[in-house]
Amino acid sequence: MHAESFVKDHGLGDDFASAIDLAVRESVANAVKHGNRFDAEKNVELTLLLSEEALEISVRDFGPGFHPEEIPDPTDPANLLKASGRGILFMKAFMDEVEWFNHAGGGMVVKMRKRQ
């Protein structure tokens, strides 16, 4: 995947690359499935920005958006066997910061930071 190659090309190491790869895969999968609802006419935008402090990643879909706080907790015993909700848990586990917001031009953006 492009994000993993970007990280490795900048010498950030395998563990860092694995965390980024997982977080990006989950966020892009959510953007395609839940945001764009598999609409082939809608794109997913991925932005990577590396600074001395951190790697910032933004993933934007062009769907209706959602409220992350309304996603059921996948660690709640009542939800353990449900297939959904784990992507957000993984993103939060592997990244230092994760936030969602509605883009002014439409769609939802997930912004993630991983400090070096």
* CATH code for position 96: 3.30.565.10
Under DSSP, the state recorded for 84 is S
Total structural domains in the chain? 1
Report pTM: 0.89
Is the pLDDT assigned to residue 99 strictly greater than 80?
Answer: yes
Mean pLDDT within 41-52: 96
Mean pLDDT within 55-72: 89
Counting residues of the chain whose pLDDT is more than 90, the rounded percentage is: 62
Place of tokens 């353990």: 80
Token pair of 30 as six digits? 């959510």
Sign of the CA dihedral with 88 first, then 90, 36, and 112 last: positive
Under DSSP, the state recorded for 90 is H
Instruction: Count, in order, helices (H) and strands (E) of the chain.
Output: 3, 4
Domain that holds residue 43: 2-115
The total number of residues shown for the chain amounts to 116
